[in-house]
Structure 1
């Protein structure tokens, strides 16, 4: 009885959340603005034939080429109609029209949604003459019921309204199997305006792969006076990443995974990521493991300013292997919450147990189930 009463605020928030990116266009819509990539403009006549009552007032093209025509001619029953074509920078100036993204690409859609977040968010209908290619997964309808008290505990710890909304939306997305409930933050993954690497920082970067765009950005942020210790367990990925990162001497890459303690484990190696397996087998690689506390001691690090963990579901083990470092230095934390449903509870509660003064925020950065991030910092006195 008491537990249900305690869970009510979060449950009410979950129940009240709207679907922000529904697939399909309601027949009730009339005047609309269509967002469409330049290569897909040829789909417009077919779309208009499918929705003859729609009055398209403007086309916004995210990748509008320089010098491209600023109008698009649509055939009509009596005569062709010219529709203005603009870039998506106009999103904030047309609140009077519902927005439809036609034939959405997941990366371009995320960029558009981040821009919409700058202007206060809102619903974006998706239509593409195909089954939804992203944003769907098997639902977990009883997820909240099974974990209500711990989910409520995390919800109550979050520092701002945007984080609480995103956290509730993550739960609803898991329960329904639809990522369209998740609002995108104005910033990208790892790009929180405050909780990120800074010039001169000593940083621990857990989870690299061979795709090192984020690592190059981190190196630029800490600059020549900073140092980054990165960790990638798969040898061939580490070798490829090390070669690409060679122009940034502040970045040192270790061929090891982060864990609670030093050892070895079998990893399943995918194209751009890897994760620990229960046992060796076909397609697995035997890799070294090390703890952050070991690295800090062996490297003689005088401080750690920022820790980022994107280690494919091994975040809790990596945090347990960093307890002394986190308690001593209280670094800014950037931790992925999306690899396992239970991480929504275990990771924030563990972080708060180590340093109660941590201020916790949650943000989401994609139109799929990836890129929900826990950000933590101790506010400056």
Structure 2
């Protein structure tokens, strides 16, 4: 059995030691990215005793100015700073910037989740212990290794398939599957399953709250004709309770719930709608609302124990909150983790079955 603390310490011993000693001597770090993520970094990840030495940003208009009282420097200036100070990439999509920094010679590079993970080692250990097969454990360790090295070659080692959700090496499917498709986008999940089942299925209930995506989803179903006879689509989100919530309507794959947004969408809780329906599988790719949706499906999960395919990468805590919440509801589930993108941290999916 791998000890997660020891695993991280072996990957990056300097980071672990300095972080553990931060209450005696502040942990110095440079944040690469002087935008909203960098601005809110300490509060967002509940970090204390961290000293931001510099911000660094590609935007030359920011150079020489200050953010939160800390100087913003250029990438060229960053190269002249001691490599003993770790550089944490505080950008929403950090993979490509991290590649550039590594190529430029920055070696002590961290993902923005790295320090937050050190605060939650007990939860990470629980996740590792719950995973059922060696492939899942390999994926999990690979994702953690990337957080502490930003080495993109890791993705090639942990990606076995770019096809998601309906993995026949994990699940078996019959001709009467009844699937909840949370985050239907424009119909890609529907099409994937129709290709697998060759048109033989029970029901598919697809939810897509983004208006633009939903209209494309509707058009896709019209093109399918009779093949879509068992598919129902809803311009709604899935959440912990039924009602209305704020939403960022981007007409794209990453439209998401934003509680402070003035744009409101209707959401449903699975337990409120489907308790009297036979459900054999739930798929969720809902941009950070996965744990909320699981909370709203507690009764159905306990009663029917459907197959699950749940994205677990949108929020920093998703790597543990998704699996631990499901395990609390249904301890009998067996859990599997797969990564589906050879180029990026994104697209890891937690699978569960009896």
Q: Given the alignment of the two structures, is residue 9 of structure 1 paired with residue 14 of structure 2, yes or no?
A: no
Which of 296, 317, 329 is residue 304 of structure 2 equivalent to? 329
Cα 1:361–1:221 shift into 2, 3 Å:
same
Which of 241, 246, 259 is residue 217 of structure 2 equivalent to? 241
User: What SS does structure 2 have at the residue aligned with 1:230?
Assistant: strand
Q: Given the alignment of the two structures, is residue 263 of structure 1 paired with residue 263 of structure 2, yes or no?
A: no
Question: Could you give the per-residue CA deviations for residues 339-367 of structure 1, whole angstroms, max 9, x where no partner exists?
Answer: 01201111111111111110001010102
Alignment correspondent of 2:126: 153
Alignment of 1:1-381 (within 5 A): 9-14=3-8, 138-182=111-155, 183-186=158-161, 188-193=163-168, 194-195=170-171, 198-210=174-186, 212-222=187-197, 223-246=199-222, 247=224, 248-270=228-250, 271-281=252-262, 285-297=263-275, 300-301=276-277, 303-366=278-341, 367-378=343-354
Inter-partner Cα distance in structure 2 for 1:214 and 1:253: 12
Question: Could you give the per-residue CA deviations for residues 62-96 of structure 1, whole angstroms, max 9, x where no partner exists?
Answer: xxxxxxxxxxxxxxxxxxxxxxxxxxxxxxxxxxx
Inter-partner Cα distance in structure 1 for 2:172 and 2:148: 30
Inter-partner Cα distance in structure 2 for 1:328 and 1:354: 10
Cα displacement (A) at 1:219: 3.2
User: What SS does structure 1 have at the residue aligned with 2:273?
Assistant: helix
Cα 1:215–1:269 shift into 2, 3 Å:
same
Cα 1:286–1:178 shift into 2, 3 Å:
farther
Question: Could you give the per-residue CA deviations for residues 134-168 of structure 1, whole angstroms, max 9, x where no partner exists?
Answer: xx984433233211111001111110111111111
- Are the equivalent residues in 1 in contact too, given 2:110–2:148 (CA < 8 A)? no
Structure 2 unaligned segments of length 5 or more: list them.
Answer: 13-98
The 10-residue stretch of structure 1 (238-247 or 305-314) with the greater mean CA deviation from structure 2: 238-247
Cα displacement (A) at 1:293: 1.1
Cα displacement (A) at 1:189: 2.0
- Are the equivalent residues in 2 in contact too, given 1:268–1:275 (CA < 8 A)? yes
Cα displacement (A) at 1:174: 2.5
The 10-residue stretch of structure 1 (235-244 or 225-234) with the greater mean CA deviation from structure 2: 235-244
Alignment correspondent of 2:22: none
Q: Report the TM-score when normalising by structure 2.
A: 0.65
Task: Point out the structure with max Rg over C-alpha.
Answer: 1
- Are the equivalent residues in 2 in contact too, given 1:257–1:288 (CA < 8 A)? yes
Aligned residue pairs, count: 253
Inter-partner Cα distance in structure 1 for 2:316 and 2:345: 11
Structure 1 unaligned segments of length 5 or more: list them.
Answer: 1-6, 19-125
